[in-house]
Amino acid sequence: MAFEDLYREVILRHFKKPQNFGPVSDEEATVEDENPTCGDHFRLRVELQGDRISSIRFDGRGCAISTSSCSMMTERVLGKTPSEARAMISEFLGMVQGTCDPSDESLGDLAVLRSVRDFPVRVKCAGLCWQALSKALDKLSA
């Protein structure tokens, strides 16, 4: 898989100007997560109103892959129900791990991260925020 696919324009756009980005204080954070291989650290705040994700915001520092993944994720799950979001989480993680191949339509912009599966160390980068979202939803539904 071409290296160029990993640094596609849409990824770089989200990296340069992440959506739904910060600030999230430690107290506000629904969850914190980090990538143990590099020390990258994210705080994610998720709010539900009724049965919908009414607000989602993230903060922290990461590489182009983890930051753009998180930015696109927040856009994608905003307004969705927790169960819809969970379906997206498993779809996305399956895609980057190479265990499933969802259609481009169901993923939108996120489909550009498909090439991550060819760079094993970057799978963690792309999946970090999705794992965090999963934990946040567990916490909010507890």
The answer to whether 23 contacts other proteins (rule: CB under 8 A) is no
Shortest distance (Å) from residue 12 CB to other proteins: 6
Restricting to residues 98-137, name those near other proteins by CB under 8 A.
Answer: 119, 122, 125
Across the beta sheet with 52-61, the strand order is 31-35, 40-49, 52-61
The answer to whether 26 contacts other proteins (rule: CB under 8 A) is no
Concatenate the DSSP letters of all residues of 61-111 into one string. E--HHHHHHHHHHHHHHTT--HHHHHHHHHHHHHHHHTS----HHHHGGGG
Of 38, 48, 78, 140, which one interacts with other proteins (CB under 8 A)?
38
- Tell me whether residue 3 or residue 142 sits nearer to other proteins (CB atom): 3
Are the CB atoms for 116 and 65 separated by under 8 Å? yes
The answer to whether 40 contacts other proteins (rule: CB under 8 A) is yes
Q: Coil, strand, or helix at residue 113?
A: helix
Shortest distance (Å) from residue 121 CB to other proteins: 8
Q: Residue numbers of the site for other proteins (CB under 8 A)?
A: 3, 6-7, 12, 15-16, 37-41, 61-67, 119, 122, 125
